[in-house]
């Protein structure tokens, strides 16, 4: 229906399922081969969502209030994805439309690290470090996106932890569960930033994929600000895997000398 509407036609269509030889529904790799064999055009739902995110606003602000934190006074704005109904939080400090471009942190939700202080990851420490830096700067935005476990959800993240206890690294665990190493999409984050009036930013990240993802939606990252925390014995291997397999920026000296982890 979206394809017909985007083409300026009546928003209606007919669905036809393509089956594999064993009688099951064909998956994307098989459909790609089918399209190539018969010289047919093919578009995935993911392609369509990406196209619409670049050209349409798919988020709306549904609630706003002042939110005093241990780091100072912030504005809290809740945004809703109008397709999935997922809700995301923007924490805004000060004026964000001036120069230099504001600090921006895009933080994917991590219940175990952010709330319970899990030592398995660096998420909770990164969250607090980012809020502290934004508060000291006097202006900036932290987006708290509903993308638990790099997009695989809480239950699957816990399953991945169990696989890591059995010897897999974080990438291998995701793949064994049938997922890509990182399922996060930054299109919704880009739309929220655009709604807030941000076009240029200093992005707080160790992940090069975030920079590429945001700039793919027309935003400009003028500087990358590191948010590296010292690893501990429980997460040093995890952080090394992110550096070696996912390309995250880390100071290797820190990875060689893990600290004693403590509750905050």
Residues with catalytic function: 182, 184
- Of 127, 132, 122, 147, which is closest to residue 251 (Cα–Cα)? 122
Q: How crowded is residue 104: how many other Cβ atoms within 10 Å of its Cβ?
A: 27
Residues with Cβ within 8 Å of 85's Cβ and at least 6 positions away in sequence, in order, are none
Cα separation, 249 vs 227, in Å, equals 10
Cα separation, 187 vs 193, in Å, equals 10
Residues with Cβ within 8 Å of 176's Cβ and at least 6 positions away in sequence, in order, are 163, 168
| Cβ–Cβ under 8 Å, residues 121 and 112 | yes
Cα separation, 59 vs 41, in Å, equals 30
* E strand residue ranges, 36-136: 59-69, 72-81, 87-93, 103-108
Helices 187-195, 45-55: axis angle to 10 degrees equals 10
Cis peptide before 212 (omega within 30 of 0): no
Residue 256 in tokens: 């060689």
211-228 burial, b at 16+ Cβ within 10 Å, e below that, comes to eebbeebebebeebbebb
């Amino acid at each position: 229906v979206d394809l017909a509407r985007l083409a300026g036609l009546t928003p209606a269509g007919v669905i036809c399922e393509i089956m594999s030889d064993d009688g099951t529904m064909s998956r994307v790799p098989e459909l790609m081969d089918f399209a190539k064999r018969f010289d047919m055009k093919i578009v995935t739902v993911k392609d369509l969502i990406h196209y619409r995110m670049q050209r349409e606003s798919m988020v709306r602000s549904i609630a706003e209030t002042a939110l005093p934190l241990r780091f100072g006074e912030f504005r809290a704005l809740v945004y809703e994805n109008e397709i999935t109904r997922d809700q995301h939080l923007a924490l805004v400090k000060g004026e964000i439309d001036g120069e230099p471009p504001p600090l921006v942190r895009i933080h994917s939700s991590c219940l175990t690290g952010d709330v319970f202080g899990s030592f398995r990851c660096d998420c909770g420490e990164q969250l607090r470090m980012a809020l502290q830096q934004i508060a000291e700067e006097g202006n900036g935005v932290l987006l708290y996106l509903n993308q638990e476990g790099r997009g695989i959800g809480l239950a699957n993240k816990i399953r991945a932890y169990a696989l890591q206890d059995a010897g897999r690294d974080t990438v291998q665990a995701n793949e064994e569960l049938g997922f890509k190493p990182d399922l996060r999409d930054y299109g919704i984050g880009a739309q929220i930033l655009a709604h807030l009036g941000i076009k240029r930013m200093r992005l707080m990240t160790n992940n090069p994929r975030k920079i590429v993802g945001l700039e793919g939606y027309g935003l400009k990252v003028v500087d990358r600000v590191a948010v590296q925390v010292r690893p501990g014995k429980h997460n040093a291997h995890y952080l090394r895997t992110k550096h070696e397999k996912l390309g995250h920026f880390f100071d290797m000296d820190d990875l060689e000398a893990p600290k004693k982890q403590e509750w905050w």
